[in-house]
C-alpha cells in the first residue's frame, strides 16, 4: 500500500525537512539570500575565468557588481554543454586543478567528455543537498541505503553515497550489475532505501521474481529513482513490483550531480533547492524566459559552487515550474516532472514524440511487460517506427498478435503516430544496468553540406 500524504506526515512528524531553517524559509529572505549568493558567484566567475568575463562584458557588464537584482539574471548569456567541451578539460574551472577535491566526467556520444570539478566545500554542499533530498523522499538516519547507481566518473553513485553518509544512513555501495547479488543483499542487509535508475529498479524486480524472492516482503520502504525520464505509469509499476514508495530525484553532473531537486512526501513536483540554485524556464527556440507554469527548457544557475560556477546553463530538460506553497511546508520551487529531454525528442513524420509518451501508454497495459525499445528507420522518404515490447510470462504466444494490435491502436490514438508493434517473448529485450536505451534511431543522418 502506498502511504497517503496524511499518514506519511503522521509518521514523519511536523518537522519540515532535514534543514528546516532553509527549506521552509519564506520567499523574501530566500530571495535575498539568492541575490547575495548570485553576486558572489558572478564575482568568482568574473575574477577567475576570462571566458565568463568576456561574455559578461559583451552583455554590457563593466564589472560583476553590475548585477543588482535577481531580475538582472536575464542579462546573462545562456550556457550550453558544448561550452564545457570546448574548454576541455579544465578551462572553465576557477581554481587550479591541484586545489580541487574531485573530478567527474560524462561521456558524450561524440567528441570529448564533459569534465566537472569540485572543491572540498563543493563536495560538502553536494552531500548536504543529497542528504536533504533523501530526507525529503522519506529516508531517515539509520536506514540502510542500497545504492545501485553506477560508481565511477558518473556522478550518481558517489553522489548518493556521500548524501547517505551525511544523513547518517549506512550505505551499501553496490553500483550497477550483478543483479542476482543485488537481490540477495537487499534482503539480507534489510535495505530500507533503494537508489537506482527506474529502469534498473525494474530489472532488479524482475530478477527477484525469477529467483522466487518477493521484494514486497523486504524492508524496502522508499526508492529514489532518477537519471532518466520516467512516466507515472512506470512509477506505479515499480511501486507495485517492489512494494515501496517511488520518489523522483533530479540532478545533472554539469550542475552538481544527483540532489539538485527531489520530490517531497506530497510528490507534486520536485523541490529545486533554491538556496544553492536558481531555476528558470525558457522557450527553447527563442531563449526568452517563460512565466511560471509554462512548459519549456529548464535553465539552472549555481549560486554556491566554487570550482565550476555555471551561469544560466541550458539543461535540455523540458518541464514547468510552480511556486505556489507546497503541502509539505517547503517554500522552494517545484519542478514539475520532466517529460523528456529536448535531445530525446523524436520527430516522426513531423510529429514531436518523447519516448516517455510511448512508455506512458505501454506500461501497465494488460499482458505487456514494462520493457520496450523503439526502432526508427527510413523506408523510402518516410519514417518507419517499430516498437518492440515484451509479453508477460502469463500470456500465451497465440495472443501476441492481439496484444500488438491493441498496443498499436492506443499509441496511434494517444501519441499520434503509427507504429508497427512486435510483441516478443519475455526476456528478449536487453535490460539496462544504468540509464536505459529506449531508442535505436537507424535513420540516415542528414549529410553535411559540401
Ligand atoms: Zn513539498
| Residues pairing with 294 in the sheet | none
Distance from the alpha carbon of residue 40 to the mean position of ligand 1, in angstroms:
28
Distance from the alpha carbon of residue 439 to the mean position of ligand 1, in angstroms:
33
Distance from the alpha carbon of residue 323 to the mean position of ligand 1, in angstroms:
11
Q: Each residue's pLDDT tens digit in the chain (450 positions)?
A: 444 445 444 444 567 999 999 999 999 999 999 999 999 999 999 999 999 999 999 999 999 999 999 999 999 999 999 999 999 999 999 999 999 999 999 876 567 889 999 999 999 999 999 999 999 999 999 999 999 999 999 999 999 999 999 999 999 999 999 999 999 999 999 999 999 999 999 999 999 999 999 999 999 999 999 988 888 889 999 999 999 999 999 999 999 999 999 999 999 999 999 999 999 999 999 999 999 999 999 999 999 999 999 999 999 999 999 999 899 999 999 999 777 777 777 888 878 888 888 888 888 889 998 889 999 998 888 889 999 999 999 999 999 999 999 999 999 988 888 999 999 999 999 887 777 888 888 988 754 443
Distance from the alpha carbon of residue 88 to the mean position of ligand 1, in angstroms:
38
| DSSP assigned state of 150 | P
Other CB atoms within a 10 A radius of the CB of residue 423 amount to 24
Distance from the alpha carbon of residue 332 to the mean position of ligand 1, in angstroms:
8
Distance from the alpha carbon of residue 246 to the mean position of ligand 1, in angstroms:
15
DSSP 393-429: TTS-GGGHHHHHHHHHHHHHHHT----EEEEE-TT-S
- Which residue in the block uniquely carries the three cell numbers 532488479? 204
> DSSP 3-state assignment of 39?
helix
Distance from the alpha carbon of residue 165 to the mean position of ligand 1, in angstroms:
23
Distance from the alpha carbon of residue 430 to the mean position of ligand 1, in angstroms:
36
Distance from the alpha carbon of residue 347 to the mean position of ligand 1, in angstroms:
35
Do strands 334-335 and 114-118 pair parallel, antiparallel, or not at all (unpaired)?
unpaired
Distance from the alpha carbon of residue 188 to the mean position of ligand 1, in angstroms:
33
What's the pTM value of the predicted model, to 2 decimals? Answer: 0.87
Q: Is the four-CA dihedral 427, 225, 260, 140 of positive or negative sign?
A: negative
- Residue of 192, 110, 106 lying closest to 155 (CA atoms): 106
Distance from the alpha carbon of residue 133 to the mean position of ligand 1, in angstroms:
11
Amino acid at each position: 500500500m502506498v502511504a497517503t500524504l496524511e499518514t506519511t506526515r503522521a509518521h514523519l512528524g511536523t518537522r519540515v525537512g532535514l534543514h528546516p531553517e532553509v527549506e521552509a524559509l519564506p520567499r523574501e529572505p530566500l530571495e535575498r539570500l539568492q541575490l547575495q549568493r548570485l553576486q558572489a558567484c558572478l564575482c568568482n566567475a568574473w575574477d577567475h575565468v576570462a571566458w565568463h568575463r568576456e561574455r559578461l562584458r559583451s552583455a554590457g557588464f563593466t564589472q560583476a557588481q553590475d548585477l543588482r537584482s535577481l531580475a538582472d539574471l536575464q542579462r546573462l548569456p545562456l550556457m550550453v554543454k558544448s561550452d564545457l567541451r570546448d574548454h576541455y578539460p579544465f578551462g572553465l574551472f576557477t581554481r587550479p586543478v591541484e586545489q580541487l577535491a574531485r573530478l567527474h566526467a560524462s561521456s558524450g556520444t561524440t567528441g570529448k567528455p564533459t569534465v566537472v570539478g569540485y572543491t572540498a566545500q563543493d563536495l560538502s554542499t553536494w552531500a548536504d543537498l543529497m542528504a536533504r533530498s533523501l530526507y525529503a523522499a522519506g529516508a531517515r538516519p539509520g536506514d540502510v541505503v542500497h545504492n545501485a547507481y553506477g560508481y565511477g566518473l558518473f556522478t550518481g553513485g558517489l553522489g548518493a553515497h556521500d548524501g547517505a553518509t551525511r544523513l547518517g544512513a549506512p550505505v551499501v555501495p553496490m553500483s550497477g550489475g550483478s543483479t542476482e547479488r543485488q537481490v540477495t543483499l537487499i534482503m539480507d542487509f534489510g535495505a530500507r532505501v533503494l537508489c537506482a535508475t527506474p529502469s534498473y529498479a525494474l530489472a532488479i524486480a524482475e530478477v527477484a521474481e525469477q529467483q522466487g524472492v518477493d521484494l514486497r516482503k523486504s524492508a524496502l520502504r522508499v526508492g529514489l529513482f532518477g537519471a532518466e525520464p520516467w512516466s507515472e505509469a512506470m512509477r506505479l509499476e515499480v511501486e507495485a513490483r517492489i512494494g515501496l514508495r517511488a520518489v523522483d530525484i533530479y540532478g545533472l553532473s554539469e550542475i552538481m550531480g544527483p540532489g539538485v531537486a527531489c520530490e517531497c512526501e506530497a510528490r507534486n513536483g520536485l523541490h529545486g533547492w533554491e538556496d544553492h540554485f536558481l531555476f528558470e524556464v525558457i522557450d527553447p527556440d527563442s531563449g526568452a524566459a517563460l512565466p511560471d507554469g509554462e512548459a519549456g527548457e529548464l535553465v539552472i544557475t549555481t549560486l554556491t559552487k566554487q570550482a565550476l560556477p555555471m551561469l544560466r546553463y541550458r539543461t535540455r530538460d523540458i518541464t514547468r515550474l510552480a511556486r505556489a506553497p507546497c503541502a509539505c511546508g517547503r517554500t522552494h520551487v517545484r519542478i514539475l516532472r520532466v517529460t523528456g529531454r529536448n535531445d530525446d525528442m523524436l520527430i516522426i513524420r513531423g510529429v514531436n514524440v518523447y519516448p516517455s509518451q510511448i512508455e506512458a501508454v505501454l506500461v501497465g497495459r494488460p499482458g505487456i511487460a514494462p520493457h520496450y525499445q523503439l526502432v526508427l528507420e527510413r523506408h523510402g522518404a518516410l519514417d518507419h517506427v517499430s516498437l518492440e515490447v515484451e509479453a508477460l510470462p502469463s500470456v500465451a504466444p497465440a495472443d501476441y498478435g492481439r496484444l500488438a494490435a491493441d498496443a498499436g491502436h492506443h499509441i496511434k490514438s494517444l501519441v499520434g503516430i503509427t507504429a508497427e508493434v512486435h510483441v516478443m517473448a519475455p526476456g528478449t529485450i536487453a535490460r539496462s544496468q544504468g540509464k536505459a536505451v529506449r531508442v535505436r534511431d537507424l535513420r540516415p543522418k542528414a549529410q553535411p553540406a559540401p
